Amino acid sequence: MSVLGFNAVYVIVSRELKKFVRERSRLVATVARPLIWLFFVGAGLSRLVRPVEGVTYTQFIFPGILGMTILFSSIFSSISIIWDKEFGMMKEILVAPVSRFSIVVGKALSGTVVSTIQAALILCFFPLLGIELGALSIAGVIIICALVAFSISSFGIVLATFYESYESFSVIMNFIVMPMFFLSGAMYPVKLLPEILKVASKANPLTYGVDAIKHLTTPMEAGVLSPDFPLGLDIAVVCAVSTVFVTVSSKLFERRA
């Protein structure tokens, strides 16, 4: 039976957080990418897409940009597992008297903390876009970002258990990250996609995270730019997917890591 060792989780999260703080170039790069999409791509396409009920296209893609920040940061945080495998650190972790479940939760939480910090930094730009958010809405967005980050980090751990080298893992990531982003409703409403792409979007956990953030940043009852799913469904799916990925990754970790 898997037992959660809080000390082990704390040590893993603390180690990854220290690495993140020391790598300032990584922080700059991960914050710069979303801002380029938001202010360059968003501002350009705003000239083509008319505002709907007072919501501009740049305001519409803001939740998607937060989702992009979480997606890239969370999924690439699992690269630490590959590094640990290559440099032998994983063997030292595995011989420690802690459960594999604790290691998986620690890795997922470390990715969650780092991703949520980066998303919170991007969230600070909402006044420049003309979006009005109260304290409760800001807290709600951060909580949703943390839930989504935990889900995506767990998914990254599942993938990392199948690869032993950084090069092979990076290649497969490129085939997964960009489709997940473009099919998440970040750049265009899911309701306007062709039927086959709608199915793919509904199978994408990031879709529900982005949609949940839309409920708080651009709450609209109707219209093409309104959220695609009920908020309760969004949160339920993200939580369910997190549970499944953590369970699967802990099982895979026992067999393959």
pLDDT of residue 256: 58
pLDDT of residue 233: 94
Residue 4 has pLDDT above 70, yes or no: no
pTM of the model: 0.86
For 204-244, write each residue's pLDDT tens digit: 999 999 999 999 998 877 778 788 899 999 999 999 998 99
**What average pLDDT does range 78-106 have in this prediction?**
75
Grade residue 48 by pLDDT with cuts at 50, 70 and 90: confident
**Mean pLDDT for all residues in the chain:** 84
For 156-201, write each residue's pLDDT tens digit: 888 888 877 777 777 777 788 888 999 998 888 898 888 899 999 9
Contact of 36 with 17, CB cutoff 8 Å: no
pLDDT of residue 1: 45
